[in-house]
Amino acid sequence: MSGNTSANKGKAATAAPQWYAAGLDHIWLPYAQMKTASLPLAVTATRGSRIVLADGRELIDGMASWWTACHGYNHPHIRAAIERQLAAMPHVMFGGMVHEQALTLARRLTAMLEPGGLDRVFFSESGSVAVEVALKMAVQYWCNRGIAGRSRIVAFRGGYHGDTTGAMAVSDPETGFHAAFRGLLPQHIIADMPVDDASTAALDALLAQRAEEIAAIIVEPLVQGAGGMRFHDARALRTLRTLAERYDLLLIFDEIFTGFGRTGAMFAFTEAGVVPDIVTLSKALTGGTLPLAATIAHSKVFEAFWSDDPAKALMHGPTFMANALACAAANAALDLFEREPRLDQVAKISRALAAGLESCRKLSGVTDVRVKGAVGVVELDRIENLNALRQRFIEEGVFIRPFGTIVYLTPAFTIAADDLAKLTRAVRSVLA
């Protein structure tokens, strides 16, 4: 990997297995300036909340693999379900065919979202694609009803909805990762979250002026994840539901990060007591094992596509949509939410994060400490060297990946109390 000194590279290659040295110069890592990025860790196994490195070290995982491994790594119930499905049928195309795992999963997901009318599930392979599907549903909904011109989406500053073109276009263009693509992206409407009287009035006025060109509003409920772990309360969601109804707009809740217990409820939007027209799910859906996402539409949205006219069909179809292995993993992951006390565990994690991170408020450079469910955030006025900070956490025996100006924890819900204490202790120690 160019940019790292030959001495460091040679040292890493000596300590790592042959496959690491042989393959390192042929990969392109995510969210990384390859010239200056630290060498990636060689991982050989995962279990529970532990990452096992090729050199024998174990790290406590504070990220749950980008928030996916909510039940911990290698849960035997999920692994067994995947193995059974692999023996029977790893995949079959979803065009003109269906299978038990997908239909069972769709039924279970819609049952979890009742009452409210969210009853049609479109499967895909990633959160970004789930958002793309939601946006296409929203725009075509109006076309199918014979209403022209509604092609804009209202999204919010601090928001992040994915890295594909449509998802980038509804993410914050200033704080996001996508400034280089501004000339490529469709121009949507980025507004302030309605968190007080002034911002609510501003959004109301904007919608009043431009409603006839707007198809939908999209928001990450309660926590804007990759945009900076920004929190807002349930009143903002109720405000958005009220405004969507006032101006006859669709409301999309992006629960890819927040869904499946991360904020303390199974789905974040339920804390507000409102129902979206479309919701997107991914991340923890398969317990961190296989890629899968779902875009779930309200019956009123689906009805706009129900027609004798082939042109009114939703023309989208990911090759691996409803992959049987992934759906089997997701069904097993849902079993665990039913059988094991995950939300109680989230509540305990929330209390431990609040207690363990509170003293960071006194540290130089810390501007905020906040906790919501199993999300703990320490915000700094600046982070001058992300690579160095990430390396310091590794030296403490934990895997924590700060970004922007935040250090955050999103551990597995099954993490042991002493492992969680080590994570919060490492944050305090390194930041001090």
**Angle, helix 417-431 to helix 386-395, in steps of 10 degrees:** 130
117: left (phi over 0), alpha (psi -120 to 50) or beta: left
Q: Round to whole Å and give the CA distance between 139 and 112.
A: 26
Count other Cβ atoms within 10 Å, centred on residue 383.
17
Beta strand residue intervals within 200-247, DSSP E: 214-219, 223-224, 230-231
Which of 129, 119, 138 shows the shortest CA–CA distance to 188? 138
Contact between residue 51 and residue 44 where contact means Cβ atoms under 8 Å apart: no
Distance of CA 173 to CAs 232, 240, 357, Å? 20, 21, 30
Q: Round to whole Å and give the CA distance between 49 and 390.
A: 18
**DSSP secondary structure letters along 283-321:** GGGGTSSS--EEEEEEHHHHHTT-SS-GGGS-----TTT
Residues marked active site are found at: 31, 160, 254, 283
Q: Position 17: which residue type? A: P
Task: Report the alpha-carbon angle 105-372-383, nearest 5.
Answer: 115
Burial zone of 134 (CB within 10 Å; 0-12 exposed, 13-18 middle, 19+ buried): buried
Q: Round to whole Å and give the CA distance between 399 and 412.
A: 13
Residues counted in the chain: 432
Q: Round to whole Å and give the CA distance between 100 and 78.
A: 17
β-bridge pairing 293-298 and 278-281? antiparallel
Residue for token pair 């040295």 = 21
